[in-house]
Amino acid sequence: MKLTIIQVGQTPESMQKYFDRFPPQFQQLLSANGEDFIFETANIFIGEEFPQIDNLEGIIITGSAYGVYDDIGWIEPLRNFVRNIYDRQIPMLGICFGHQIMADALGGKVEKSIKGWGVGRHIYEVKKNLDFFVGMGDKIALAASHQDQVVKKPEEAEIFLSSDFTPYAGLFYKNGAAISLQPHPEFDAEYSKALIDELSEDDLDREKAKKARLSLNEPLDNLQIGAALARFFKMAKNNQPSVKNF
């Protein structure tokens, strides 16, 4: 199965010498359990064209330093692209900004949160029993790095991950082929710590930053989530995903 990464952001330049950029992170996440995906990347944020929808088998929309409300030339075309992908029931995964633009395009609302930055290791409650998340338990831990949040979900979506800090942390859509997460299963602990160090004291006070870095010494559930998302793509391709008690 071919997965097309719709890249709308990048690893900060100061970190690129030490850490992978976004596409290899997603490749590792989804292939860690031996899955045989083929990957390609469309760098929308630097002016590359959107891929032809007829040639797509599945897409991933990455995180970004931009907000869905920013006046950037590629954001409105991306909204339309998301709607077309959704209507065609092409398997679609959104992470962080990808999560937000999917919600925004499909009828939800995204804002800069009054809670400030969410960073470090966050624990999320699993609210829905997704078939491809089988065996995941009732809580998962993932790295967060965001200031914006979905504050109103689309009618087409149901919440499957939630926390006090991020009530709409994971959305699964009723067409059976779209899923999105606010946290970053593709970010490991060291990468997430480096992102915290990129924030200024105006963004994040030093005590909160210290606690967030320490939290990342505890295990993350990246491997399990990567396997679940790989199952999602394969099941969605065959029109199989379902949610018990949806």
Q: Which two tokens stand for residue 213?
A: 């870095």
Residue corresponding to tokens 């804002």: 111
191 Cβ partners below 8 Å, 6+ apart? 15, 19, 20, 25, 143
The verdict on whether 96 is a catalytic residue reads yes
The verdict on whether 186 is a catalytic residue reads yes
Check 13, 96, 156, 198 and give the catalytic one: 96
CA separation for the pair 197, 83 (Å, rounded)? 36
The verdict on whether 184 is a catalytic residue reads yes
Q: Which two tokens stand for residue 25?
A: 């992170």
Check 40, 122, 184, 207 and give the catalytic one: 184
Closest to 143 in 3D by CA, of 228, 215, 67, 230: 215
CA separation for the pair 223, 194 (Å, rounded)? 20
Contact yes or no for 124/161 (Cβ under 8 A): yes
Check 40, 99, 186, 190 and give the catalytic one: 186
Output the CA–CA distances (angstroms, integers) from residue 203 to 11, 54, 145, 160, in the order listed.
Answer: 18, 42, 12, 29
* Secondary element (H or E) of residue 22: helix 22-31
List active site positions. 96, 184, 186
